[in-house]
Amino acid sequence: MASSQRFAFDISALLTHAGLALRTLRIAPNQVLFSQGEPADSIFCLESGRVRLGVVSSLGHEAVITTFTAGDFVGTESLAPIAGKRQATATAIEACAARMIRRDEMLRLMGQRHELAGLIFNSLMARSIQTQSDLVDQLFNLRFLAPVLGACTNARTQVN
């Protein structure tokens, strides 16, 4: 994932000097940053630590979609043209620091600072490509494992 260190400007300094009402959050390991179903009203710039993004099925099974590290933007669904709800839950893997930026403030800043809009776009594209690649890997692994798991189930049934 492309982090802010790869760009010609310092994202942290830009956010600090942009006149935004920013809050720096300190997030403990296993603490939830935002939950599936909540309003997508803010975006987070992760300054340190790691965060996982996951969904929970109705049976209580969690699937991790992706992980984020310092320099990544978490909660980018808040930038959609029509504000909606969070589609997943973001949870700290380790102690984190993140800047919370309200949706309206980030959209205003992106309109004023085109390099920030470009950074967000590049971040979204890189994240999308990585997520698709991870999904393809998982699907191929499941396709490979399905016959093996089926054989194990059949062997166990024959033993019983």
Place of tokens 């054989």: 151
Name the pLDDT band for 93 (thresholds 50, 70, 90). very high
Query: What is the C-alpha to C-alpha distance for residues 73 and 120, in angstroms, rounded to an integer?
Result: 8
**Assigned architecture for domain 4-159:** Sandwich (2.60)
Name the pLDDT band for 144 (thresholds 50, 70, 90). low
Among 55-64, 71-80, 91-100, 146-155, the range scoring the smallest mean pLDDT is 146-155
Query: What is the C-alpha to C-alpha distance for residues 64 and 54, in angstroms, rounded to an integer?
Result: 4
CB burial class (10 A; 0-12, 13-18, 19+) of residue 88? buried
Query: What is the C-alpha to C-alpha distance for residues 151 and 68, in angstroms, rounded to an integer?
Result: 37
> Is the pTM higher than 0.85?
no
Count, residues in the chain:
160
List, for residues 20-40, the tens digit of each pLDDT value. 667 789 999 999 999 999 999
pLDDT for res 19 = 67
More confident residue, 21 or 89: 89
Q: What is the mean pLDDT of residues 126-132?
A: 83
